[in-house]
Amino acid sequence: MTAPVPISDVQFNTASGILAFTAEVYNGTSTLDETAKRDRKEQERADTGQVYDELWVRHWDTFVSPKLSQIHTLKLVNGHHDQFKPKSEIRNIIRDTPSHGRLDATDSFVFSNDGRQIAFVAKKPARDYAWKTTSYVYLADVDGSAAAPINPGKGGASSSPAFSADGTKIVYLQMDDPAYEADRNRIKIYNIDDQSTNIVADDWKLSPSHVDWVDDSTLLVTYNDWGRNKMAKIDIASGEITPIISEHVVGAVRRLSGTNSRLIDYSAMDSPTDLYTVSLDDGKLTRVTNLNPELTKDVLSPTEDLEFVGADNATIHGFILHPPNFDPEKKYPLAFVIHGGPQSSFSDAWSTRWNLNIFAAAGFVTVAMDPQGSTGYGQDFTDAIRNQWGGKPYESLIKSLHQLLESHPYIDSDRMAALGASYGGYMINWINGHFDGFKALVNHDGMFSTVSTYYSTEELYFPETEFEGVPFDEKARENYERWSPERFVANWKTPTLVIHSEKDYRLVVSEGLSTFTALRRQGVPARLLYFPDENHWVLKPANSLRWHQEVLEWITKWTKDTSDDSKDGEFDKFDVDVDVGRTSGSNRFHIQND
């Protein structure tokens, strides 16, 4: 059979013969055919107007449609020649329940082992949809006869539900704060029979991102900890944590039926992502794929950990990478990279965006620090950025920079560039108004005005938490104004490359245009790189190439060795050769400075 509308997240439970999938459907429709019929009518409309009565008009890079992503089930039986055929009608299992709302994520539902129930995460549509993070774990029968939240109340975002082997319990993660997307995830276990909930390892200071069952008495988690995304087992009764993987970065985790192992994706800054199996008994890693054999540690720069003292005498952790054929007796320019979020961190992971090895390969000593606001250092450290955007994080970055120069004399303090995206782009603008030690800056999708950003972004819970209120409240308005880079435009003097994209609805394109206007109107050297077809991230291969070429040429132009005046006023040209045909998502790159 062929579905009349697009479907995704397809899962099949062999025990029950139930096929489940998500499909976007119109509110009130009973069948997928009804949605398909309405789709055709929409396409025949002469106008293109879209009407909204409440917030959540758009998200990330897409305007919100009237359709809702909901879970559907279908009973299959094995017919002739091992071909499955439907035994039931397709059912929308959440159409008539209080969970009638958008699912939080695409891979957001799980079967019980016997295939009779499904757990999923959903957020109720409401007037406060844009300024509350609250979402719930729902338990539904696959026939749609019952569905209800297992964690009703006023908590924060929920995630990662998983059934126990006997189907009597569900473990999941939930934040407490209903307006804070970076609150600590608590581990909770719901007993289906008596509807009770227990919290596991409540005194643990770190925040897991994934949870699953090992057995009836043990859980499996992944979590960010000092620049590594680790894997560990947790004893349910005692909360004792037993590490399994403590180096590099564990990504997605999948069960392997009939074994006590997991399939994971695993990477490091000097090792592109590959699939591995890991034994939960002894932590043994077995490599499954080797998708980029040419990218060896002989080609890529290894990472070294850094620790400096920042604001509040806090330890500020980060990484340093050196150029190929590094000679400590020589002088090198510095690429000082600032992460976005701000509640995220630099991890020892492979990435096709902001890959630190790119800058090292171009001849820069590359440094990336995690100031206040970063994750993986305890919730207090993450929370320390609230109403401190240009305060403690800025102080820690500049203090770390000074300590870096003192302890690494091969870095040329007259040839430094700073680069950042999102919050990192905000920090670039803030630095330009407060510090003139860099010869060049790169601002990717950064914030120009805290006030204008509030009124144009989509997730209002973010600025309302960060600046402790709304900008039309007199007291909170002082916070917005205090930390707005726009107030310090008159101090800007460092040459800046500004990058922004049209489909960025998190920080809209006017933030980049305003930054470029402020620079050029004052005669500060600047360049604007604009992508009409990208969002907050630059993802298309050709656009990624252009991004890297522009960035490398810009920072090289302004940090070149002044003893070589043969190219005065010129851009060094970079040939960035990227093989984008790999299925792993890893890119093979070669950088040649012409």
Task: Specify the 3-state DSSP secondary structure of 379.
Answer: helix
Cα(298)–Cα(236) distance, integer angstroms: 43
Report how far apart the first and last C-alpha atoms of the chain are (Å, whole number): 56
137 touches 170 (CB < 8 A): yes
Cα(517)–Cα(526) distance, integer angstroms: 9
Q: Please indicate whether residue 510 is annotated as part of the active site.
A: no
Count of alpha carbons within 13 angstroms of residue 357, beta-carbon side: 27
The DSSP line for 110-161 is EE-TTSSEEEEEE----TTTTT----EEEEEETTSS-EEESS-SS---EEEE
Write out the E strands in 477-519. 496-501
Task: Specify the 3-state DSSP secondary structure of 383.
Answer: helix
112 touches 20 (CB < 8 A): no
Single out the catalytic residue among 504, 514, 548, 586. 504
Single out the catalytic residue among 210, 444, 536, 548. 536
Between vectors from CA 131 to CA 35 and to CA 343, what angle results, nearest 5°?
110
What sign does the dihedral 252-302-342-354 (CA atoms) show?
negative
The encoded tokens of residue 322 equal 């050196």
273 touches 585 (CB < 8 A): yes
Q: Please indicate whether residue 422 is annotated as part of the active site.
A: yes
Q: How many CB atoms lie within 10 A of CB 261?
A: 16
Cα(562)–Cα(195) distance, integer angstroms: 71
The DSSP line for 445-472 is S--S-HHHHHHH-S-THHHHHHTTS-TT
Peptide bond before residue 471 is cis, with ω within 30 degrees of 0: no
Strand 261-268 relative to strand 271-279: parallel, antiparallel, unpaired? Answer: antiparallel
Q: How many CB atoms lie within 10 A of CB 41?
A: 8
Q: Please indicate whether residue 504 is annotated as part of the active site.
A: yes
Single out the catalytic residue among 344, 345, 422, 514. 422
Write out the E strands in 391-506. 411-421, 440-444, 496-501
- Could you give the C-alpha distances from 229 to 252, 278, 295, 559, in angstroms and in order? 11, 15, 22, 34
Cα(7)–Cα(510) distance, integer angstroms: 35
The encoded tokens of residue 130 equal 């844009």
Which sequence positions are flagged as catalytic? 422, 504, 536
